[in-house]
Structure 1
C-alpha cells in the first residue's frame, strides 16, 4: 500500500515488525454515542452538541476515566430515528455490564452521566468496535472500513464502526467491549477468525494487542502464554505478582484450567525509534516495546 508519494503508518509498522503485545490502552469503562454526522479528527471533542450537555457528559466520563467513542453502523442509507448510546463497564471480578439508551435531542445524552454511576445489566452480548476514523488517521479508514464491512455482514447486531481507539499503526484495530480486548493488524479474513474465536470464548494470540485491565508488561506476559499454549478464555490467566527492576519485569501468571498452573515470566522493555508512529505525525518519536526473555513453570 505504501507509495513514494504518501506515507502510511500501518505499512511502515508492518515492515519494521512492530510488536503488537502490550499496546492496548488501559481502561474499564466506555461510553458509546451513535453519531451520524461527519466525525472530526478529535472525535467527541469536536462534534456539535449543546455546550452544557457536552461538558457534563465529558466531566462524568472523566471522573471515572471512561473513554468516549463515537459509533455508527456501516449501512446505506443511514438509519433514521433516534441514535443510541451506551455505557459499558468491565469489573475486576470479570463481570461485564452494559446500559443502553437512545437520544433524539442533545439533552437526552445527559442520561449518560447517570448511567456512569450505575452498574448496568449483565448477560448482554459484547460490542465489537472497528476503528474507521479516517479523519484522525487515513490507515484507520483504509484498513478499518473493509474489516468493519465484513464483520458487520457477519454479526450485524454486534459490530459498529468507531472513532480513534489508539495505535493507528496497528490498523485495522478491533476492540471488544466491555470485555476490554484489543486486536490489531487485522484484515477481513483474520478479523472474522479472531472475532469468531473471541465469541466462542477463546482469545486468539496472533493479533492480540492486550487486555485493557492489565499494564503493558502484564499484557505481554499473558499474550506469550496464549502464543505458547493456544487460545484460552478471557479469564483463564490471572496475573498474581508483578515486580520491576528498571527496564526488566518479572511476572507470575496463573492458569486456572484444566489444572492450576503458575508461570514466571521475564519481560524486558526498551525504547524503539524514533519512528513516525502515525500518518499525520510530523515528528518521529520512540515507542516502548517489550521482549519476553523467559517463561518457566513456578
Structure 2
C-alpha cells in the first residue's frame, strides 16, 4: 500500500465528524512508569521485567482499576537520574493525591503496590500526558508528537509522553491527571490553548472528551452544559442524579455552583454508529457508541 493509500484513523474520524463527547475511559487512579527505551505495542504488559515484580504491580493495579502508563519526556532526553514512577489519585473536589519515586532495578517498582495504599501528597501540580504510542497506533505518534513538543516548550516540568490512553481516532489525545480530564482532536496550537486554560481553572467544551470520574452519558451532559453556558472550573458542575429512562436514553441532573446555573436537566441519547475502522492497525470494523444531548432545561 502506498503512502497515499494508507489508512489513518484520526483523518477518517474527522471526515466522518465522529463526536468526541462522552469518550473518556472511566477511572480515578493512574500509575506512571518512566521507561526511556522503546515501548512495546501493548505498553506495560509487554515489558520484560522481573516476573514477580511485574505480577505484583499488575495485580495491585487491577485491584483498584488503575491505568498503567509508560511515560517519557519529549525527545527522549538523556538523564543521569534514575527513571521515575508515580501513583496519581483523583479523590473529587480537587483533593488530588500523588506519590513519586525512582527505580534503578525492576524490583524497585514493587514500591508502586505500597503507594497505591498510601495517602499520597496533596498540592502537587497536575501531570499533562500526551499519547504518542506509535507502535499501538500510527495516528498517536503522527499527531501526538507535535503536540508533545509544543506543550513541552511551555511546561517542561509537567508534560510527559505516554502509552495508549484510549480513543486512537481522536488523536492527538491529552490527559490531565489526576484531574481526570481527557482532551482530543488536538493539534499543537489548540493543545497549548486547552492546557493553558485548564491550568488557569477553565475547561472549555471544545476538544473535551470527558471527565474520567463520570460515566459516558454523564460526561456528555456536562460537556453540553459547558458548551451552552461557557467554560467553568473542574468542579463547578456536579452530576446530582442520573436516571435511565430507556435502553438508550438518560436524564442527567447537573448542578452548578454560582455564578453557573444550577438545577439543569439534561437529556442524553446514545446510538451505535455504523461499522467503521476505528484504529490504524486494526483492519476489522467496529461500531462505536455516540452520545447526543437532545435537551437542556431547568428543573
Q: What TM-score comes out, normalization by structure 1 length?
A: 0.97
Runs of 4+ in 1 over 6 A off after TM superposition: none
Query: What's 1:112 paired with?
Result: 112
Mapped contact 1:125–1:158 kept (Cα < 8 A): yes
The alignment partner of 1:282 has SS state of coil
Query: What's 2:224 paired with?
Result: 224
Give distance in 1, aligned partners of 2:139 and 2:261: 42
| Alignment CA distance shift 1:242-1:134 (3 Å) | same
Mapped contact 1:89–1:119 kept (Cα < 8 A): no
Query: What's 1:269 paired with?
Result: 270
Mapped contact 2:93–2:235 kept (Cα < 8 A): no
Deviation at 1:3, TM superposition (A): 5.7
Pairing 1:33-44 to 2, within 5 Å after superposition:
33-44=33-44
Give distance in 1, aligned partners of 2:77 and 2:269: 50
Give distance in 2, aligned partners of 1:109 and 1:218: 35
Query: What's 2:291 paired with?
Result: 290
The alignment partner of 1:75 has SS state of helix
Give the aligned length. Answer: 297
Query: What's 1:253 paired with?
Result: 254
Query: What's 2:148 paired with?
Result: 148
Q: Deviations over 1:146-191 (max 9, x none)?
A: 0000100100000000000000000000000000000000000000
Higher alpha-carbon deviation: 48-57 or 135-144: 48-57
Give distance in 2, aligned partners of 1:106 and 1:273: 45
Q: Deviations over 1:99-132 (max 9, x none)?
A: 0000111111110000001120000000000000
Q: What TM-score comes out, normalization by structure 2 length?
A: 0.97
The alignment partner of 2:145 has SS state of helix
Deviation at 1:48, TM superposition (A): 1.4
Give distance in 1, aligned partners of 2:260 and 2:266: 19
Q: Does 1:235 align with 2:231?
A: no
| Alignment CA distance shift 1:231-1:3 (3 Å) | farther
Query: What's 1:159 paired with?
Result: 159
Deviation at 1:76, TM superposition (A): 5.2
Deviation at 1:31, TM superposition (A): 0.1
The alignment partner of 1:146 has SS state of helix
Q: Does 1:173 align with 2:173?
A: yes
Give distance in 2, aligned partners of 1:239 and 1:81: 43
Deviation at 1:94, TM superposition (A): 3.4
| Alignment CA distance shift 1:93-1:76 (3 Å) | closer
Q: Deviations over 1:197-216 (max 9, x none)?
A: 00001111100000000000
The alignment partner of 1:219 has SS state of helix
Q: Deviations over 1:252-281 (max 9, x none)?
A: 100012166110011110000200000011
| Alignment CA distance shift 1:194-1:214 (3 Å) | same
Pairing 1:1-298 to 2, within 5 Å after superposition:
4-75=4-75, 77-244=77-244, 245-258=246-259, 261-298=262-299
Give distance in 2, aligned partners of 1:168 and 1:178: 21
